[in-house]
Structure 1
Amino acid sequence: MTLTKSLKAALLGLTALSLAGPAVADQLADVKAAGKIVTATDMHYAPFDMIIDGVYQGMTKDLFDGVTAELGVEPVYQDIPWTAELPGLEVGKFDIVIAPVTITSERLERYTFTIPIADATVSLIKPVNSDLVKPEDIKGKTVGVQQGTAQFKQLSAFGDSLGGVNVKEYGTNDEAFADLAAGRLDAVAASMPNATTLVKARPEHFALFEPAQFGDPTYFAWVLRPGDDSASLGDAINEALLKMTDDGRVKEIQEKWLGAYTELPREVPKN
């Protein structure tokens, strides 16, 4: 083959590649090729994520174990502080955040969400001997909440509507609950599953407000990076969750960890 013919062949090859367009990344294919999916969650968020006797347990783990079995890959569970999870996801330190993340309109613009895994509507907890009753009674009081959460934003907005609440932020719910038990807080705001789990476990110390919830209904879900490369993985996870819903596994897991079953949206809510 002459140099001219070689050059023409090379040019034709480049033209074909340019017409085909850039290769589209496919996170599902990458995960299946690796045989594993690397996760991030905060293992101090009962009843979803807990370390009991040195073993990771909780509703999140049971749900995700079922999903990964459907996908045919092994889950790699990592205990990451909540405030480092979404930033770490963005730079590719893990494939997915499975800590329950509240779906908000702002986050929908920035991330890819799965369908809901639980109700996340914010609720209020008080000491069992408190004379506070309804959510409006927290006006002028000191209320704890986990920093960087949607519950923090909802509490702040609700406090402003009441004319002022002293909001105190904590790294974890457990830290806030400890200060509530010690009398350093008047109340704690958390998602309904977190609140009911605490009160059920320690009824001698804590109680729910009546009604406990305030604000609009919200939901927890899992989070992937935005873009077309994550779409296939998100779709596969949603399909697995819907299959588990239809065959009763989600109901069984909810009843095990939450004590009751809540029917969830079958699509990602567009808040």
Structure 2
Amino acid sequence: MKPKNKSVSVAAFVVTVLASSAFAPAVADTLSDVKAKGVMTAGNSGSYPPFEYMADGKLTGFDVDLAEELGRRMGIKIQFTIIDFKGIVASLTSKRVDVLITALTKTPERAQQILFSEPYYDAGTGAAVLVSSNIKNPEDLEGKTIGLQIGSSGERYARTELTKYTFKTKTYDDFVLAVNDLKNKRVDAVLNSLPSLKYNTRNDPAITITQTWSPSDVGINTRKEDTALMDEINKHLVAMKNDGFLKSLDVKWFGR
């Protein structure tokens, strides 16, 4: 009787395992899904020039060009969905879209919710200065007057990371006014995010932009479980960096 009981126990165990697996959640495989459909949906705020903005009713910008090239290399089409920025992360986690391609900067809080790709742009903080200026690094601001747009990353950086230096500040509601004061030598430097600095001074030969003083990576985003899709995206982003495609986008949209 013992061998028979053992056989029954083994059979019951197998049935239990099969039943459990039948109700187990499926492993996410968004990569296979988008490959099968030939389409990947991407969330985008549509309101952060030159990365993304509406022109004649059509979404355009750095991220749109990046997405088109990514889709070409993946052998799929990428369709954008415009989403208000405050709900952009939720649109991904709720599976409204497959990915985010919207110049999202990496923060510890966001990285707890979603995955970030290899960085495709540095949106860190630096300074716009006159070409004739000797300001290259943060320590060169000692004794100078700097322009800060209220609420910008440049203002936060100056007030939290540069407290060991002594300088005067002028604040502005409008970034363009700060740049005008720089050109008229009322301030010695204007601090802000590198994309804002580069885009808004791209046609001014009298102004140059420093190197990054405080880096901030921008990446493409997937859900936490979509590691296969992220691996695929990273493969192509690394190739774009190595073959100069990302550099060509920088020149096209920021003019430097």
TM-score past 0.5 threshold: yes
Displacement of 1:64 after TM fit?
Answer: 1.2
Alignment match, 1:83 = 86
Alignment match, 1:246 = 242
* 1:138–1:106 CA distance, 2 compared to 1 (3 A): farther
Alignment match, 1:144 = 150
Report matched runs for 1:61-76 at 5 Å. Answer: 61-76=64-79
Partners of 2:200 and 2:11 lie apart in 1 by 70
Counterpart of 1:257, as a letter, is W
Alignment match, 2:215 = 217
Displacement of 1:216 after TM fit?
Answer: 2.5
* 1:138–1:53 CA distance, 2 compared to 1 (3 A): farther
* 1:235–1:55 CA distance, 2 compared to 1 (3 A): same
- Unaligned 5+ residue runs, structure 1? 1-7, 169-174, 261-271
Alignment match, 2:49 = 46
Displacement of 1:72 after TM fit?
Answer: 2.3
SS where residue 78 of structure 1 aligns? strand
Q: 1:142·1:167 contact (CA, 8 Å) conserved in 2?
A: yes
Q: 1:28·1:233 contact (CA, 8 Å) conserved in 2?
A: yes
- Unaligned 5+ residue runs, structure 2? 1-9, 182-186
Partners of 1:155 and 1:97 lie apart in 2 by 30
Q: 2:148·2:192 contact (CA, 8 Å) conserved in 1?
A: no
Q: 1:159·1:165 contact (CA, 8 Å) conserved in 2?
A: no
Q: 2:105·2:217 contact (CA, 8 Å) conserved in 1?
A: yes
Partners of 1:221 and 1:74 lie apart in 2 by 19
Q: 2:106·2:219 contact (CA, 8 Å) conserved in 1?
A: yes
Displacement of 1:143 after TM fit?
Answer: 2.5
1:16 and 2:18 are equivalent in the alignment: yes
Counterpart of 1:25, as a letter, is A
Report matched runs for 1:143-222 at 5 Å. Answer: 143-145=149-151, 154=157, 157-158=160-161, 176-177=174-175, 189-201=191-203, 203=204, 212=210, 215-222=213-220
Partners of 1:191 and 1:142 lie apart in 2 by 11
Q: 2:148·2:191 contact (CA, 8 Å) conserved in 1?
A: no
Alignment match, 1:263 = none
Alignment match, 1:172 = none
Displacement of 1:252 after TM fit?
Answer: 2.5
* 1:151–1:114 CA distance, 2 compared to 1 (3 A): farther
Q: 1:145·1:188 contact (CA, 8 Å) conserved in 2?
A: no
Identity %: 25
RMSD of Structure 2 on Structure 1 (CA): 3.9
SS where residue 41 of structure 2 aligns? strand
SS where residue 60 of structure 1 aligns? helix
Displacement of 1:101 after TM fit?
Answer: 1.8
Alignment match, 2:102 = 99
Q: 2:148·2:155 contact (CA, 8 Å) conserved in 1?
A: no
SS where residue 42 of structure 2 aligns? strand
* 1:44–1:233 CA distance, 2 compared to 1 (3 A): same
Displacement of 1:104 after TM fit?
Answer: 3.1
SS where residue 200 of structure 1 aligns? coil
Displacement of 1:73 after TM fit?
Answer: 2.2
Displacement of 1:112 after TM fit?
Answer: 0.3
Displacement of 1:113 after TM fit?
Answer: 0.3
Structure whose CA Rg is larger: 2
Residues 187-196 or 9-18, more deviating: 9-18
1:234 and 2:230 are equivalent in the alignment: yes
Partners of 2:77 and 2:145 lie apart in 1 by 45
Partners of 1:99 and 1:72 lie apart in 2 by 21
Q: 1:97·1:224 contact (CA, 8 Å) conserved in 2?
A: yes
